[in-house]
Amino acid sequence: MYELSLIALITPLIVGLLAGFVGSRINKSFTHWMTTLGIFISFAISCWILIEIFLNPGLLLNQNIYEWMSIAGFNFKAGILVDNLTASMMVVVTFISLMVHIYSIGYMRDDPGYHRFFCYISLFTFAMLLLVISNNLLQLFFGWEGVGLMSYLLIGFWYKKESAIKANFKAFIINRVGDMGLILGIAVIFSVIGSLDYQMIFDSSTELVNTKITIINDYSVSGITLACLLLFIGAMGKSAQMPLHVWLPDSMEGPTPISALIHAATMVTAGVYMVARMSPLFELSSMALSVVLIVGATTAICSGLLGIVQFDIKRIIAYSTISQLGYMIVAAGVSAYSASIFHLMTHAFFKSLLFLAAGSVIIALHHEQDIRKMGGLRQYMPITYIAALIGSLSLIGFPGFAGFFSKDALIEAVAHSSNLGSEFAYYCVLIGVVITALYTFRFLFVVFHGDSRYKGDNQIKESSWVILIPLILLSIPSIIIAWPTLGILVFGDFFSNSIQQMSSYELFGYKYQSPLNFLIHAFSGPVIYLSLIGIITAWVCYIKMPHFPEKISNKFAIIYKVLVNKYYFDYFYEKVVAKNTTKLGLVFWNFGDIKIIDDFLVNGTAIRIQKLSTISKKLQSGYIYHYALMMVIGLSLFLAWIIIN
């Protein structure tokens, strides 16, 4: 299994590099066949590994590949950890990547950067696999940075567009802020425990608990709380929690396939994955868990509200992603890591399905993204419509679909938790259910129902099969994947050797028997009814009385303004943070660089040498007696030296 997992890891790298360097010389067909084949190999191996793990429970591979660096007694190794959590993530990542590869063949057909695109997404897959497959924090960080880099390159893929460049800067910088927290967290762990290996960290986690780290003079926190909080800041940056969420809507500047791949299914889930992976640590610090909980809940509800007022089709789905990530983080905050990971997996399927469907719409309307200019696409693009419908139903938690099970399990765990802040989180997620249903069906009704408002002169027709096949292939898991896996993954102990969490009865307050049982049980909870309220509201607003939303927005104009301005987060970041940082940078440049280094040190050295030489030039006066005087002075110095010695 070791060699196979290595092959699964390295293949995307190789095909990505080949596509990037060689693909443009050969032709498009070579590029897309090769990369798709490479990702398919990775996917097949991941599936095989997962099946192996299913068949042999307790199978675990934790092996170091080579020693990377050895400094002062600390050994940093590169290694692989393949356990249940890793295998599940690998399957999800490679599957979505495969779908996106196939989809991009059609979507990017006319794009001049075709080969570059495939190179980037293959390399991204490699980085993400590296992240999930690593067995120490350093390699995780390497993969973390790798996905951040590829995200930057892909958001700014159309680099001639200025908004795309701004967006990719924004993404990278905000990611960096999160990464700072991650690095500090890793540093805290390293300084206390002395190793970055997962196994060693988990074994010596009590050391972290007992260490008290002083921040300011008298105020000290336990080492574990500090480490967990810092690690969570990294997760906030990567998984777009508030206040570091502002990059994700702007990242929609990139092509739709990568919105599906990166910003729905894989990269943004790296934060959630990291929290789940570090669950033994998080379990030891209740304060960190409460922080996680509250941040996730706030994000879930606030970004959901933003999704209602957006007019760009991709931005609606982007805010939905942020909201769902909030849900996942909330689940982690109540220690229900298995529910969190399960929601991650189902979300990957239905969210990427939604993105790809949106991409299909965009392409069919020739890159039109404003939903006010769409409508009634149901009759022109039936398959896309059905795919979007399936994705939406899964998203809102319609009974029977995959999203329903994961969301419901999650909400049950929140309801049953006793962590500090869990009540607040419970109300947030419940309201979030309504809001999710509202914006999702708003999206569906406005785009696909009603009258056609498209003013373009081309005929709208269904997209080519290359685009439709991934949609169909993604719809299937969106519906059915929960039925076989719910019991094992969420309520069972599938993840027991990777995640540390309490038994399912303690966690969920529900004795699990079968998915059907769970389904019926859910009817006794508020979730289904809340989502129904949301659907009805959306129907009323956008089908029955289309002028109703406008009237409401006029009535609550202030709230509307706040929402449209995205709670003024962007305003704050731009006007306060960025402006002052730029000023600071200018000060450093003008004063520090130009004045001190250029003028004083570099030019100054030259000028001083010149002045010195002008003075010492006078020694060569041409007069013999001056030379004689110099000789005599030298003689006197020499004699003085002899006397002193």
Partner 1 sequence: MLTLQPYLTLAAIVFGIGVMGIIINRKNIIILLMCTELLLLAVNFNFIAFSYFNQDITGQIFVFFILTVAAAEAAIGLAILVVLYRNKNSIDVQKLQTLRE
Partner 2 sequence: MSFIEIIFYVFASILVLTSLGVILFKNPVYSAISLIVSFITSAALWLLLQAEFLAIVLILVYVGAVMVLFLFVVMMLNIDDVMRTSKFNKMAPFALFIGLIVVAELITLIWFRSDQFSMVPVSTGVLDSGVSNTVLLGTTLFTDYLYLFEIAGFILLLAIIVSISLTMRRREGLKRQIVSEQVNIDQTKRMKLVDLKNERN
Binding site for partner 2 (CB under 8 A): 625, 629, 632-633, 635-636, 639-640, 642-643
Of the two residues 69 and 640, which places its CB atom closer to partner 2 in the complex? Answer: 640
Instruction: Report if residue 624 touches partner 1, rule: CB under 8 A.
Output: yes
159-162 long-range CB contacts below 8 Å, 24 or more apart? Answer: 161/253
Report in angstroms the alpha-carbon separations of 128 from 1, 96, 154, 294: 19, 12, 14, 27
Name the binder of 640 from partner 1, partner 2, none, CB < 5-8 A by kind.
partner 2
Of 318, 326, 336, 338, the closest CA to residue 302 belongs to 326
- CB 266, CB 97: distance < 8 Å: yes
- CB 330, CB 301: distance < 8 Å: no
CA angle 338/341/344 to nearest 5° reads: 150
Query: SS3 helix, strand, coil % of the chain, rounded to 5?
Result: 75, 5, 20
Which of 26, 597, 632, 640 forms a contact with partner 1 (CB under 8 A)? 632
Instruction: Report if residue 555 touches partner 1, rule: CB under 8 A.
Output: no
- CB 228, CB 335: distance < 8 Å: no
- In whole angstroms, how close is the CB of 618 to partner 1 at the nearest point? 8
Site for partner 1 (CB under 8 A): how many residues? Answer: 11
Of the two residues 586 and 629, which places its CB atom closer to partner 2 in the complex? Answer: 629
Name the binder of 639 from partner 1, partner 2, none, CB < 5-8 A by kind.
partner 2
Which of 7, 628, 637, 640 forms a contact with partner 1 (CB under 8 A)? 628
- In whole angstroms, how close is the CB of 625 to partner 2 at the nearest point? 7
Q: Indicate the residue type of 325.
A: L
Name the binder of 558 from partner 2, partner 1, none, CB < 5-8 A by kind.
none
Do the bridges between strand 74-82 and strand 212-214 make them parallel or antiparallel, or are there none, so unpaired? unpaired
- In whole angstroms, how close is the CB of 606 to partner 1 at the nearest point? 20
Name the binder of 520 from partner 1, partner 2, none, CB < 5-8 A by kind.
none
Q: What is the DSSP letter of 618?
A: G
Q: Which two tokens stand for residue 601?
A: 């040190």
Instruction: Report if residue 629 touches partner 1, rule: CB under 8 A.
Output: yes
- In whole angstroms, how close is the CB of 632 to partner 2 at the nearest point? 5
How many whole angstroms separate alpha carbon 510 and alpha carbon 529? Answer: 20
The separation between CA 531 and the C-alpha centre of its own chain, rounded to angstroms, equals 27
Of the two residues 565 and 636, which places its CB atom closer to partner 2 in the complex? Answer: 636
Binding to partner 1 (CB under 8 A) within 68-127 occurs at: none
Phi, psi of 81 (to 5 degrees): -125, 115
Of the two residues 66 and 625, which places its CB atom closer to partner 1 in the complex? Answer: 625
- In whole angstroms, how close is the CB of 633 to partner 2 at the nearest point? 6
Of the two residues 586 and 639, which places its CB atom closer to partner 2 in the complex? Answer: 639
Q: Up-side HSE of residue 167: CA atoms within 13 Å toward CB?
A: 22
Q: Which two tokens stand for residue 22?
A: 């060689």
Q: Which two tokens stand for residue 21?
A: 């360097």
How many whole angstroms separate alpha carbon 15 and alpha carbon 119? Answer: 8
Which of 622, 642, 643, 644 forms a contact with partner 1 (CB under 8 A)? 622
Of the two residues 212 and 626, which places its CB atom closer to partner 2 in the complex? Answer: 626
Name the binder of 624 from partner 2, partner 1, none, CB < 5-8 A by kind.
partner 1
Name the binder of 187 from partner 2, partner 1, none, CB < 5-8 A by kind.
none
- In whole angstroms, how close is the CB of 643 to partner 2 at the nearest point? 6
Site string for partner 1, 602-621 (x = CB under 8 A): ---------------xx-xx
Q: Indicate the residue type of 287.
A: M
Q: Indicate the residue type of 247.
A: W
- Residue 556, helix vs strand vs coil: coil
Instruction: Report if residue 581 touches partner 1, rule: CB under 8 A.
Output: no
Which of 625, 643, 644, 645 forms a contact with partner 1 (CB under 8 A)? 625
- CB 386, CB 478: distance < 8 Å: no
- In whole angstroms, how close is the CB of 612 to partner 2 at the nearest point? 22
Name the binder of 642 from partner 2, partner 1, none, CB < 5-8 A by kind.
partner 2
How many whole angstroms separate alpha carbon 605 and alpha carbon 321? Answer: 57
- In whole angstroms, how close is the CB of 592 to partner 2 at the nearest point? 45
H helices of 56-161, in order, are 84-107, 114-133, 137-155
Range list of β-strands (E), 402-446: none
Name the binder of 618 from partner 1, partner 2, none, CB < 5-8 A by kind.
partner 1
CB atoms within 10 A of CB 182: 26
Of the two residues 2 and 638, which places its CB atom closer to partner 2 in the complex? Answer: 638
Of the two residues 629 and 637, which places its CB atom closer to partner 1 in the complex? Answer: 629
Q: Give the footprint of partner 1 on this chain (CB under 8 A).
A: 617-618, 620-625, 628-629, 632
